C-alpha cells in the first residue's frame, strides 16, 4: 500500500511572446512641447495599453504623449506597456530639457508717419543666432538689425523669430503704428498768361493719388460756381475770367476714410 504510483498528469502551459517597450523623444526646448513617440514592439495579434511617467509627477495615457516642461533639467521618462493578456515591459529614458533663446527687440523712432516712414529695428535677443523678421506687411528680413520703410499708414504686427544652436525657437511680436500726415498746399495767386509759370490753379499734396474721393470747386464773388473737377490732375485755367479774388473749396475723403473740407481765397492776376 506504500510506494510510488505510476500514474501521471499533464499540465499545459501557454507561452506568449513578450512585448518590447521602446520610444523616441523629440523636442527638448524649455517652454515648448516635448513629444514622446511610442515605438514599442507588440506581438502579432495582441493589443497593449501604454502609461507614460514623465519624470516630474505627470502621467499620460495613450500610444504617444507630449508635455511642456517649465524648468531646465533631466527628467526620467518611463513607458510601461501591458498586453491584453498581461505581458508587460518598461523602458526609461532621460529627457534633458535645455534652455531656449529669448527673443526681444527695440525700434527707433517710436513714431513713424507717411512723411517719415522709415523705422530701424535692433535685435536684443539672448542666446540666438539665426533671425527672421516679419514686418506685418507681407515682407520679411533675415538681417540682425534691419531697417524698413512702410508704404501705407496703419497698424503692423512685427514679429521676430529666433533660433539657437539646439534648434530651440522663441518669438516676440510688437505693434508698430504708422500715422497719416495730411499735407496740402494751395497757392494764393496765379497768372494765367501762358508764360509757363503759375498758369493754372489747384491744390498739391502728399499721397493725393490715394484719396478715396476728391472734389475741387471755384466760386466767383457772387457765389456762382465757375469750375468743378473730381480729377486731382485737373487744375483751373482761369484765362477767360477777370482778374479778381475767387473762393475755392476742396472736399476729399483721404486714404483712411476721413472726410476733409478745406477752403480759401485765390487772386487771379493778369
Give the model's pLDDT for residue 166: 86
Q: Are strands 140-141 and 131-134 parallel, antiparallel or unpaired?
A: antiparallel
Would you state the pLDDT for residue 231?
98
What confidence score (pLDDT) does residue 237 get?
Answer: 96
pLDDT per residue as tens digits for the range 37-70: 999 999 887 889 999 999 999 999 999 999 999 9
* CATH, range 184-268: 2.60.40
The predicted structure's pLDDT at residue 47: 85
Residues 107-138 have pLDDT tens digits of: 999 999 999 999 999 999 998 887 899 999 99
CATH architecture, domain defined by 23-97: Sandwich (2.60)
- The full set of domain ranges for the chain reads 23-97, 105-179, 184-268
Query: What pTM value is reported for the model?
Result: 0.72
Question: Domain spanning 105-179: which CATH class is it, in words?
Answer: mainly beta
User: Could you check whether the bond before residue 224 is cis, i.e. omega within 30 degrees of 0?
Assistant: no
Task: Decide whether 105-179 matches 184-268 in CATH topology.
Answer: yes
Q: What is the DSSP string of 7-73?
A: ----------PPPB--EEEE--BTTSEEEEEE--B--TT--EEEEEE-SSS-EEESSEEEEE--S-E
Local mean pLDDT, 10-residue blocks, the chain (270 residues)? 60 77 96 96 89 98 96 97 93 95 96 96 91 96 97 96 92 96 96 93 96 98 97 96 97 94 97
- Taken as a whole, the chain contains a residue count of 270
Amino acid at each position: 500500500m506504500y510506494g510510488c504510483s505510476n500514474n501521471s498528469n499533464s499540465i499545459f502551459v501557454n507561452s506568449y511572446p513578450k512585448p518590447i517597450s521602446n520610444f523616441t523623444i523629440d523636442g527638448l526646448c524649455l517652454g515648448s512641447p516635448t513629444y514622446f513617440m511610442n515605438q514599442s514592439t507588440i506581438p502579432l495579434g495582441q493589443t497593449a495599453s501604454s502609461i507614460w511617467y514623465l519624470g516630474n509627477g505627470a502621467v499620460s495615457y495613450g500610444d504617444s504623449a507630449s508635455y511642456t516642461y517649465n524648468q531646465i533639467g533631466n527628467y526620467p521618462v518611463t513607458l510601461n506597456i501591458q498586453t491584453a493578456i498581461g505581458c508587460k515591459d518598461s523602458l526609461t529614458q532621460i529627457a534633458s530639457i535645455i534652455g531656449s533663446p529669448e527673443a526681444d527687440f527695440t525700434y527707433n523712432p517710436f513714431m513713424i508717419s507717411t512723411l517719415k516712414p522709415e523705422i530701424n529695428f535692433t535685435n536684443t535677443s539672448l542666446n540666438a543666432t539665426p533671425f527672421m523678421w516679419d514686418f506685418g506687411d507681407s515682407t520679411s528680413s533675415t538681417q540682425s538689425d534691419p531697417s524698413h520703410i512702410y508704404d501705407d499708414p496703419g497698424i503692423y504686427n512685427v514679429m521676430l523669430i529666433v533660433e539657437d544652436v539646439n534648434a530651440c525657437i522663441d518669438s516676440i511680436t510688437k505693434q508698430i503704428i504708422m500715422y497719416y500726415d495730411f499735407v496740402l498746399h494751395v497757392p494764393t495767386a496765379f497768372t494765367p498768361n501762358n508764360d509757363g509759370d503759375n498758369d493754372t490753379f489747384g491744390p498739391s499734396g502728399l499721397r493725393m493719388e490715394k484719396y478715396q474721393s476728391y472734389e475741387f470747386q471755384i466760386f466767383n464773388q457772387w457765389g456762382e460756381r465757375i469750375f468743378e473737377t473730381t480729377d486731382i490732375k485737373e487744375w483751373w485755367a482761369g484765362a477767360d475770367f477777370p482778374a479778381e479774388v475767387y473762393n475755392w473749396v476742396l472736399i476729399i475723403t483721404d486714404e483712411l476714410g476721413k472726410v476733409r473740407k478745406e477752403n480759401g481765397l485765390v487772386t487771379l492776376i493778369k
